[in-house]
Amino acid sequence: MATTKNGEVVDLLQMIGDLMELRGDASYRVRAYREAARQLDLTVEDVATLSREDRLTEVKGVGPSIARTIKEYLETGRSAPLDALRQEVPEPLTELLGIRHFGPQRIVKVHRALGVTSLDELEGAARDGRLAQLSGFGQKSVETLLASIRVFREQRGRIPRYLAEAVAYTALHGLRQMGDLTHVAVVGGIRRLAEAVERIDILAASQSPAAVMEAFSRLSLFREVAAASSIHPPGDGEPSFGRSVLAYTRERYPVLLRVVPPPLWGQALQQATGSTLHNDQLRERALALGLHVQPVPPAHVSRGAPASADPGFQAAEGDVGQGATVLWPGFLLQPDGQTLPAPDEAAVYSRLGLPVIPPELREGRGEIVAALTGRLPRLIELADIRGDLHLHTSWSDGSHSIVQMAHRAQALGREYIAIADHSQSLGVARGLTLDRLAEQRREIAAVDAQLGGIRLLSSVELDIKSDGTLDYPDEVLAGFDFVTASIHSGFQQPGERLTQRVIAAMRSPHVDAIGHLTGRVLGRRDALDMDVEAILRLAAETDTAMEINAWPNRLDLHEGYARPAKELGVKLVINTDSHADDQLEYMRYGVEVARRAWVEPGDVLNTLPLDALMAYLKGRRHKA
């Protein structure tokens, strides 16, 4: 195991923050330790050097008290604040932080009453009735907690891509500075733009694989590193297929690096990117064309990562724990037995009689047949997006003013935006009463008149209330340029009722789009139980657009619904749902969902020029 001092100190501060939260300390104290940990994690300088030179407080977020804690740990290997916290709060309880509907106070209460210290013990107490006997835990709250535990278990092994990307590209940057590389790329599910991955995959090509692996192992990003054996071809003692090494970040994210000889780069990049199903279908085509597939023996690593759901190089079934096995791809051989020459992916696909298939389509969902018949879609790109039709400002729960949001949108090249603050029923978000709405619309008009090069549209995120009615009367809705209707309450209603609420909204001629339809929040809330197929069918009839919400922890509609929406002729709209000006850059996440759903520019409303968009909206409302 290789562990840097910086990593140890980051872990120390994070653990202190977690235990303080469980003890019930003031939130500002908890945040102070976590922020210091985050800033130190970004620090390149060695923390031991900073401590010796009394420069710890130069790190943003590290004040004198936290500096003393760090110095004590570095000099003695102990921490008095941490030891004191461990006397009051058992460290295993930190495993339970992050379970929705089960905050720190409840964690400690259940521990003291029932001795619960682990997720399994908590679930057992919920199922056998012990938890329901405690005050504050009725049967309904226990059922809600069990559902939260299920979500927590499912999500614990999945890394949202926006977080995985940050780790992957940090590692990539470090390798480029330190390693003797011919090529290097992030591959696997991240390159295919999957919404979440179980493992972070990086591929490199080098004449000096040992040096690259050593550079990778020294990255301060990692908390521990496990060595891997070389990959040998059958019957040959020389390592010609490359090497792999597995490391874990401080968040316990597994990162797998494979290093191949430069001549194998093109094939390795293709195999490391495609899903198992996509690659299997390519191998079948290769065999049909007279090529051969060279099987590659596995590499054994001393500590295994979870089997990846996003395999290009796939972990073998059951490989979890010590002695795990990582399979490499089968390389394609020419009929004469020589490795297929492939300096890049284009050469691989060309030899198979195919155009290059975009990475995000490599899922085995019909893309090879589409490529063979010339029917691959012209996927939407970020540059196709002309406007953003769902922005919040400080008039409701946003952080920035109308003019600030407009300036940022203009800087990003948007031609129009729709100011869509919340309607009146959503009091928690400072929803607009009719009086405040009138004031807000006057400000939108004033800012629109002042700015050149961008148009501001009057809009609203209209609440679909629990009884299915809309939050503003028709005469008010008729005055908006664009109306997005969303569910923000009554999530526990039966699926049939939730479905009918959305259907009722779509039957209004004033509702142009349904926002974040399923209501999911990755890692926190499951999708609502509703009949999405019925909703999409009606959307096709009423010309109601479905939003792809680009917030990286929403991505709703997800690709599994966005593709059938496209196939039914339902218009999509990709919005950021921004609540601050920097969130306008989330648009790329929504575009990436759309690309995985085979969406083309013509399927998306906000690729239209403003005049064409307004004409479309006028036509659909007239038809309704």
Q: The CATH number of the domain where 104 resides is what?
A: 1.10.150.110
Regarding whether 235 and 152 lie in a shared domain, the answer is no
Distance CA 16, CA 13 (A): 5
- Domain boundary pick from 131, 156, 181: 156
Which residues on neighbouring strands pair with residue 423, listed in sequence order? 432
DSSP3 helix / strand / coil % (the chain, rounded to 5)? 45, 15, 40
Regarding whether 310 and 391 lie in a shared domain, the answer is no
Q: What is the reported pLDDT for 356?
A: 97
The pLDDT tens digits of the residues spanning 522-560 come to 766 778 889 999 999 999 999 999 999 999 889 999 999
Q: Is the per-residue pLDDT at 252 higher than 70?
A: yes
> Which CATH number do you get for residue 618?
3.20.20.140
Q: Is the per-residue pLDDT at 384 higher than 60?
A: yes
Q: What is the reported pLDDT for 62?
A: 93
Give domain status of residue 615, yes or no.
yes
Regarding whether 189 and 89 lie in a shared domain, the answer is no
Q: What is the reported pLDDT for 624?
A: 65
Q: Are 443 and 468 in contact (CB under 8 A)?
A: no
Q: Please choose, from the candidates 308, 468, 420, 431, the residue with its C-alpha nearest in 3D space to the C-alpha of residue 316.
A: 308
Regarding whether 292 and 167 lie in a shared domain, the answer is yes
If phi over 0 gives left and psi between -120 and 50 gives alpha, with beta otherwise, what is residue 242?
left
Q: What is the reported pLDDT for 249?
A: 87
* Mean pLDDT, residues 281-294: 87
Q: Is the per-residue pLDDT at 441 higher than 80?
A: yes
Q: What is the reported pLDDT for 318?
A: 29
* Mean pLDDT, residues 228-243: 54
* Mean pLDDT, residues 252-260: 90
Q: Please choose, from the candidates 129, 119, 126, the residue with its C-alpha nearest in 3D space to the C-alpha of residue 153.
A: 119
Q: Is the per-residue pLDDT at 498 higher than 80?
A: yes
SS3 617: helix
More confident residue, 147 or 394: 394
Distance CA 598, CA 619 (A): 27
Q: Is the per-residue pLDDT at 430 higher than 80?
A: yes
Regarding whether 550 and 453 lie in a shared domain, the answer is yes
Regarding whether 39 and 126 lie in a shared domain, the answer is yes
Q: What is the reported pLDDT for 320?
A: 29
Q: What is the reported pLDDT for 298?
A: 52
Residue matched to tokens 């916290």: 85
Regarding whether 543 and 478 lie in a shared domain, the answer is yes
Burial class (CB in 10 A: 0-12, 13-18, 19+), 504: middle
The pLDDT tens digits of the residues spanning 172-207 come to 998 998 878 999 999 999 999 999 898 999 999 999
* Mean pLDDT, residues 14-27: 87
What is the percentage of the chain residues whose pLDDT exceeds 90? 56
Q: What is the reported pLDDT for 285?
A: 92
Give domain status of residue 377, yes or no.
no
The pLDDT tens digits of the residues spanning 443-460 come to 999 999 999 899 999 999
Q: What is the reported pLDDT for 232?
A: 52
Q: What is the reported pLDDT for 102?
A: 83
pLDDT band of 27, cuts 50, 70, 90:
confident
Which of 57-61, 177-181, 320-324, 498-502: highest mean pLDDT? 498-502
The number of C-alpha atoms within 13 Å of 527 and in the hemisphere containing its C-beta is 15
Regarding whether 267 and 215 lie in a shared domain, the answer is yes
Q: What is the reported pLDDT for 266?
A: 93
The pLDDT tens digits of the residues spanning 119-135 come to 899 999 999 999 999 98
Q: What is the reported pLDDT for 220?
A: 81
More confident residue, 233 or 613: 613
Regarding whether 452 and 335 lie in a shared domain, the answer is no
pTM, entire model: 0.78
Residue 615: how many other CB atoms lie within 10 Å:
12
Which residues on neighbouring strands pair with residue 554, listed in sequence order? none
- Domain boundary pick from 140, 156, 172: 156
Regarding whether 224 and 171 lie in a shared domain, the answer is yes
Q: Give the domain range for residue 138.
A: 5-156
Token pair belonging to 493: 């209603």
Q: Is the per-residue pLDDT at 561 higher than 60?
A: yes
* Lowest mean pLDDT segment, chosen from 16-25, 291-300, 344-353: 291-300
Regarding whether 214 and 134 lie in a shared domain, the answer is no
* Mean pLDDT, residues 22-27: 86
Say what angle helices 402-411 and 434-450 make with each other, to 10 degrees: 40
Q: Are 406 and 623 in contact (CB under 8 A)?
A: no
Q: Are 96 and 122 in contact (CB under 8 A)?
A: yes
* Lowest mean pLDDT segment, chosen from 11-25, 115-129, 268-282: 11-25
Give domain status of residue 294, yes or no.
yes
Q: Is the per-residue pLDDT at 371 higher than 90?
A: yes
Q: Please choose, from the candidates 149, 214, 187, 205, the residue with its C-alpha nearest in 3D space to the C-alpha of residue 278.
A: 187
Q: Is the per-residue pLDDT at 584 higher than 50?
A: yes
Q: Is the per-residue pLDDT at 484 higher than 50?
A: yes
Residue type, 470: L
> Which CATH number do you get for residue 186?
3.30.460.10
More confident residue, 543 or 106: 543
Strand-strand pairing, 222-226 and 242-249: antiparallel
If phi over 0 gives left and psi between -120 and 50 gives alpha, with beta otherwise, what is residue 227?
beta
Average pLDDT, the chain: 86
Burial class (CB in 10 A: 0-12, 13-18, 19+), 290: exposed
- Residues 6+ away with beta carbon under 8 Å from 235: none
Per the structure, how many domains does the chain have? 3
More confident residue, 589 or 524: 589
Q: What is the reported pLDDT for 424?
A: 92
* 190, 192, 195, 201 alpha-carbon torsion, rounded to 10°: -20
